[in-house]
Amino acid sequence: MTSQLRRASASILSNIAEGCGRRTPAEFARFLDIAMGSASETEYHLILAQDLGYISDDFAHLHVDIVTVKKMLASLIGKLRD
């Protein structure tokens, strides 16, 4: 589970970075969509880890952080597609 969580969270930033190197806003938005999927996967793994009792104290802080990242991604995607 730790490995999956690390891969999913690293994928968020990797896709943002890759999208920055693209030529058009539409291409960038496509990579941000992929980053959003990775953010959702990260959120799922956090919730699962809490449900299984692997984390407790850090969950609330981490969950707020990933929800914030998803909101920022959604906002940026919206601006690119306007």
Domains located in the chain, CATH noted:
2-81 (1.20.1440.60)
Residue 11 CB partners (closer than 8 Å, separation 6+): 34, 35, 38, 41
Could you report how far apart the first and last alpha carbons of the chain are, in Å?
Answer: 38
What's the pLDDT at 56?
87
- Per residue in 43-71, pLDDT (tens digit) is 999 999 999 999 988 999 999 999 999 99
Of the pLDDT bands very low, low, confident and very high (cuts 50, 70, 90), residue 6 is very high
Q: Which helix (H) or strand (E) holds 20?
A: helix 2-20
Of the pLDDT bands very low, low, confident and very high (cuts 50, 70, 90), residue 82 is confident
**In whole angstroms, what is the distance from residue 8 CA to residue 14 CA?**
10
- Entry pTM: 0.93
Of the pLDDT bands very low, low, confident and very high (cuts 50, 70, 90), residue 40 is very high
